[in-house]
Amino acid sequence: MDLILASQSSTRWRILSCARIIAKAVSPQIDEENITRSLMAEKAMPRDIADTLAEHKAKKVSIKNPLSWVLGCDQVLDFEGKVFGKPKTQEDLRQSLIRLSGETHRLITANVMYHNTKPMWRHISVSHMTMHPMTVTEIETYVEKSWPDAQHSAGGYYFEKTPHLFSEVRGNWFDIMGLSIGPIAEYLNQHVNGSVFNAPTVAAVLGHPIAHSKSPCMHGHWLETNKISGSYIAIDIPPGKLFQTVKVLIGAGVMGFNVTLPHKEDALALADYQTPRAKAIGAANTLVVDLKGSITADNTDGYGFITNLKVNSSDWFPQAGSALVLGAGGASRAVLSSLIEAGAPKIYLSNRTLQRAKDVALQLSPLIEVIDWEDKERYLSTVTTVVNTTSLGMTGKPPLEIDLSSINPKAMVTDLVYTPLETPFLVQARSFGCSVVGGVGMLLHQGTPGFEAWFGTCPTVDSEVEALVLK
């Protein structure tokens, strides 16, 4: 199929690639402002303005490429019958937010397909977007922080960057982004030979901060290698805003989430259903949304931990002996739960803050015995599993100070830290003959259950994806 996207928008081009539709992008070079101005002077409806602009773009490119299928798109923001464009100045942006704050506006996305210089198909989608009321200070902060981005988008916001500004959304993720991919895929399947496309599924990782997250790279790789129609994005959600934002994102058709700090406890609390392992850990890292919008919260950290060890240390059996776990934070809870579930007969838990370890032990299992941080070396000769769940040893953090000279050489030693790939703790364990497993595999394996639930395929954890997340 020879498809041309009559647009310079990298977002629209990316949406087509999410659905695995290959298109050439050609700039239509039309005077959008002039056309909009004259349509507004004629009191044209916002949807007619979007439709006319999409048509102009497709037509212009089709005339030069009559044999190609040409897709033109346009989006306008309609508030009470008035079109809101891209803000030209910060004052424009301020006024636009004052008007839209606390109100519902519509995003109208028009799509027109041309072939042989003639219009073959057109589709208009309407998304209903309700914004939270914003205080004067919130508006000022937003104008100051977001101006570089805001000036490029109608109404002055990018929904994918600031979904927490909204209280309710009824629409589709891709329509909101500016291209109605579902109907386009359907049209191509019916009318263009050889087309077999699916509307992409959307999943996201939510956290604060989120820029450091390896998940988009990992899931993006799996979408690519499995040729799946889908998109996986990172969204920064400020603390305390998870509940409302997940609701809004589900309203926009997002079907799955990974959740990271500081939202893991909230993620469990907001769900309609909780898996037993998420309940036991008291936090969720994976949310699966069903077609009715119900949310199931899971915690796959423990699964990732155990699978990493099974894959990378084939003669390790959790049932073979007791374990020593260092650290009693969030990651430790997942490790402890999964070791107990896998059959570890006893676990010694050591943490700098003793009371924290006692609380965790009390909540999780009588098989956990809390020991003093200073005493941790005394248990090294008896255990068959040793796990560091603290952040000590991570690049930029203090080292984990421990003398492993008394360690049982048959013990398997693992570290959740994966930067560096092999921590000084693991190097020391290796020098005493222990088998060692680095932490990057846990990160990779914890991602597979979510991917399978959202996108329908269980991805492979291999050296290629490992190299990507370590880049």
Q: Which residues are catalytic?
A: 264
Residue 227 burial by Cβ neighbours in a 10 Å radius (0-12, 13-18, 19+): exposed
Per rule CB under 6 A, is residue 423 in the interface with ligand ATR?
Answer: no
Q: Is 282 in the site for ligand ATR (CB under 6 A)?
A: no
* Rounded distance between C-alpha atoms, residue 366 and residue 368, angstroms: 5
Q: How far is the CB of 268 from ligand ATR (least distance, A)?
A: 14
Q: Does 399 bind ligand ATR (CB under 6 A)?
A: no
Nearest distance from residue 305's CB to ligand ATR, in Å? 12
Q: Where are the alpha helices (DSSP H) in 32-172?
A: 32-41, 46-64, 90-100, 136-150
Which of 329, 345, 420, 424 touches ligand ATR (CB under 6 A)?
Answer: 329
Which of 353, 381, 405, 431 forms a contact with ligand ATR (CB under 6 A)?
353
327 binds ligand ATR (CB under 6 A): yes
Nearer to ligand ATR, 195 or 391 (CB): 391
Question: Hey, what are 414's tokens?
Answer: 């693992």
Cα–Cα distances (Å) from 272 to 206, 207, 298, in that order, read 18, 20, 11
Give the nearest distance from C-beta 392 to ligand ATR in angstroms. 5
Q: Assess 361 for contact with ligand ATR (CB under 6 A).
A: no
Q: Rounded to whole angstroms, how far apart are CA atoms 115 and 307?
A: 52
Is residue 26 part of the contact set for ligand ATR (CB under 6 A)? no
Spatial strand order in the sheet of 286-289? 230-236, 201-207, 254-259, 286-289, 295-298, 273-274
Which of 106-114, 295-303, 352-360, 429-437 is the region at the interface with ligand ATR (rule: CB under 6 A)?
A: 352-360
- Judged by CB under 6 A, the residue of 156, 251, 282, 330 near ligand ATR is 330
Q: Does 392 bind ligand ATR (CB under 6 A)?
A: yes
Between residues 111 and 390, which has the closer beta carbon with respect to ligand ATR?
390
DSSP, residue by residue, 282-307: T--SEEEE-TTS-EEEE--HHHHHHH
Stated length of the chain: 471
In this structure, the number of other CB atoms found within 10 A of the CB of residue 366 comes to 9
Residue 70: count of CB within 10 angstroms of its CB: 31
Among 52, 258, 389, 428, binds ligand ATR (CB under 6 A): 389
Largest Cα–Cα separation, the chain: 86
368 binding ligand ATR? (CB under 6 A):
no
Neighbours of 41 (CB within 10 A): 8
Residue 338 touching ligand ATR (CB under 6 A)? no
Select 60 or 333, whichever has its Cβ closest to ligand ATR.
Answer: 333
Which amino acid, residue 289?
Answer: V
Q: Can you give the binding site for ligand ATR, defined by CB under 6 A?
A: 327-332, 351-353, 356, 389-392, 398
